[in-house]
């Protein structure tokens, strides 16, 4: 039987406020719980994938299904460490912890034997992530100039220059919309939501500026591309079919990586644009706060990581020994 709906009259006013029923409150709470459980779309996808991998591994080794015993968890992590880097091991461990917490089972990772195994894994494979290669700006500009002026070439030139000058993650880049681009006298302001470090829908903005070289100017490249799209709303970077037919289908983030390798080189990844932005800006005198304004990093840790190798080479007293 449904709860009776209650209404109250505000103090000093004739307006009535309709209070939700207990059933509606329970439904709202359940919806928010589910949203919190799911997290960001990328996190949700990784969680599901990790659990599927674990369940498959358990079946292959004829081990009981979840929840895990500490011994089973230690064995699983040890097996992962023979084929994967620490980042993967760490992420799957976090997924396992979350699964046990959500299903109200004891967390097996708190066992002392599991902690010792984890310490051994760290000492054996290390915890330092691979760094995306940073490109040389002169070589980068030369390769940008060689991109053909076809519709797909106009798109790819804009995609690469905006990715680099805006220090975008590939997921952020392909999520941009035409209506989020505002051209100004100095360049352009790009408005977007839902970056990796902003999962609650807060609006963020990045600025692009006109460059002296029109062939490698991100703002001019973006203007040329949007003129080609000839529309005011919808996905910014879209698929282009054979025959140079422009679609309205949003580009996959994997295409950013493929485009980077096609034009800039196989040794580079989509993340090389962010790494190169930090490295080149830092070496050209930009301070950390200016860099973080564009990259949206919350701490200087990643800034230091990106610039460490270049600083070792270019800011080193070994050059002043007079040998």
- Domain with 157, as residue range(s), is 137-314
Could you tell me if 231 and 304 lie in one domain? yes
Could you tell me if 143 and 287 lie in one domain? yes
Whether residue 262 is contained in a domain is answered as yes
Whether residue 11 is contained in a domain is answered as no
Whether residue 258 is contained in a domain is answered as yes
Quick one: which of 96, 161, 82 has its CA closest to 124? 82
CATH code, domain with 76: 1.10.150.130
**Residue 104 C-alpha from the chain's centroid:** 30
Can you tell me the distance from the alpha carbon of 157 to that of 210, in angstroms, rounded to the nearest whole number? 15
The number of distinct structural domains making up the chain is 2
Write down the pTM of the prediction: 0.66
Can you tell me the distance from the alpha carbon of 96 to that of 80, in angstroms, rounded to the nearest whole number? 13
DSSP string covering 184-208: -SSEEEEEEE--TT--S--EEEEEE
Predicted confidence pLDDT, tens digits, the chain (323 residues):
445 555 555 565 566 667 778 888 888 887 777 666 656 566 777 889 999 999 999 999 999 999 999 999 999 999 999 999 998 999 999 999 999 998 999 999 999 999 999 999 999 998 876 677 889 999 999 999 999 999 999 999 999 999 999 999 999 999 999 999 999 999 999 999 865 555 555 789 999 999 999 999 999 999 999 999 999 999 999 999 999 999 999 999 999 999 999 999 999 999 899 889 988 888 888 888 888 888 886 676 666 666 654 555 555 555 556 55
Could you tell me if 60 and 154 lie in one domain? no
Whether residue 277 is contained in a domain is answered as yes
């Amino acid at each position: 039987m449904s709860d009776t709906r209650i209404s109250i009259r505000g103090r000093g006013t004739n307006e009535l406020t309709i209070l939700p029923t207990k059933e509606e409150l329970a439904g709202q709470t359940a919806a928010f719980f589910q949203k919190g459980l799911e997290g960001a779309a990328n996190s949700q996808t990784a969680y599901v994938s990790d659990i599927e991998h674990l369940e498959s591994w358990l079946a292959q080794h004829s081990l009981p299904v979840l929840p895990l015993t500490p011994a089973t968890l230690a064995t699983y992590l040890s097996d992962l460490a023979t084929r994967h880097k620490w980042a993967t091991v760490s992420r799957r461990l976090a997924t396992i912890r979350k699964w046990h917490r959500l299903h109200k089972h004891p967390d097996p990772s708190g066992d002392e034997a599991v902690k010792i195994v984890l310490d051994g894994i760290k000492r054996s494979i290390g915890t330092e992530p691979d760094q995306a290669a940073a490109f040389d700006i002169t070589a980068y500009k030369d390769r940008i100039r060689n991109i053909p002026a076809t519709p797909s070439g106009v798109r790819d030139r804009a995609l690469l220059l905006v990715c680099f000058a805006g220090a975008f993650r590939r997921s952020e880049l392909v999520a941009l919309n035409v209506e989020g681009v505002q051209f100004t006298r100095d360049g352009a302001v790009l408005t977007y939501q839902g970056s990796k470090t902003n999962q609650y829908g807060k609006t963020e903005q990045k600025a692009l500026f006109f460059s002296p070289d029109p062939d490698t100017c991100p703002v001019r490249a973006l203007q040329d591309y949007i003129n080609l799209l000839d529309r005011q709303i919808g996905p910014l970077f879209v698929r282009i079919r054979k025959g140079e037919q422009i679609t309205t289908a949003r580009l996959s983030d994997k295409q950013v990586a493929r485009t980077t390798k096609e034009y800039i080189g196989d040794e580079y990844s989509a993340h090389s644009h962010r790494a190169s932005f930090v490295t080149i800006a830092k070496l050209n005198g930009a301070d950390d706060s200016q860099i973080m304004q564009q990259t949206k990093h919350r701490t200087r840790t990643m800034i230091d990581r990106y610039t460490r190798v270049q600083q070792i080479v270019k800011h080193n007293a070994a050059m002043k020994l007079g040998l």
